[in-house]
Structure 1
């Protein structure tokens, strides 16, 4: 993805093109089940992270999930994976997270909402429109573009 496409992705996300519903982001049993089957081996049972392997998802994502651009980032990482060097909470990780694009839209909604609940979000759960917008994006963002977006949305 070139600079223009990366800028376009950032503009779409920053403009709040992904709607946010006014409901609770309380974790759901389905979201917990998906997390247990796909995420906990690397990110820990409660999303606390595993030193040297994968960053924490509980805690650092809280301010990210409060903004449309951050929510879009999380969905795109779920859909397309992420590889390369990232820094989270002062710790450097170099690895690869596999894409979870085989999950249904409903499963991605449940998983995103579970992640929001792990981060104490009391705002909106993820919704089908957000997932559909992220899935329909063409071309798909590169891992480089996702790392650049991460640098903008992560605290």
Structure 2
């Protein structure tokens, strides 16, 4: 019994010390730790593993979001594509939270690119889109990329799979 109360006292002291802001002053890196909540946390836990914190994706494999995702809003099929792309449609987030993440992604990584009058995604349309999985994602994406080129939204060598122009050496 005495051992348990000593253990509890040690744990309580450790937790109190760890929660104190004083520890952050000793370590400059610790003061830069970011805490996420809400939609930003949903992105961090469900999307950043593939798309990264900065929305850069994985060159050659996972499309970047930063500086590219907003271009889909200029295409008639773009809205549907963003709703039904496998990473979004199969997300474990409920419809309302996924709609919020999609809107946050457009505002954060597609800032300045979103077509005028593009309406925010809704939970209802997310729910409907998830019932129609995108089975030919690569084919649809290729068609949308070609349409972006034809409209002059992107250049000939651009496809959203490479490193964004602002991060090239």
TM range (shorter): 0.5 to 0.7
Q: Whose strand fraction is larger, Structure 1's or Structure 2's?
A: 1
Question: 1:67/1:126 Cα in 2 relative to 1: closer, same or farther (>3 Å)?
Answer: farther
TM-score by length of structure 2 reads 0.53
The 1:44–1:153 alpha-carbon spacing in structure 2 relative to 1, beyond 3 Å, is same
Note if contact 1:59-1:119 (Cα within 8 Å) is conserved in structure 2. yes
Inter-partner Cα distance in structure 2 for 1:38 and 1:112: 12
User: Matches of residues 20-99 of structure 1 in structure 2 within 5 Å?
Assistant: 30-77=38-85, 78-80=87-89, 99=90
- Count of matched residue pairs: 104
Deviating runs (4+, > 4 A) in structure 1?
A: none
- Aligned-pair CA distance for 1:147: 1.4
Instruction: Please give the TM-score of this superposition, normalised by the length of structure 1.
Output: 0.57
| 2:141 pairs with 1:150 | yes
Structure having the larger proportion of residues in helix: 2
Query: RMSD of the TM alignment (CA)?
Result: 2.2
The corresponding residue for 2:124 is: 129
In our comparison, the structure showing a higher alpha carbon Rg is 2
Unaligned runs of 5+ residues in structure 1 are: 1-28, 81-98
Q: Which structure ranks higher in relative contact order (CA pairs < 8 Å, sequence separation ≥ 6)? A: 1
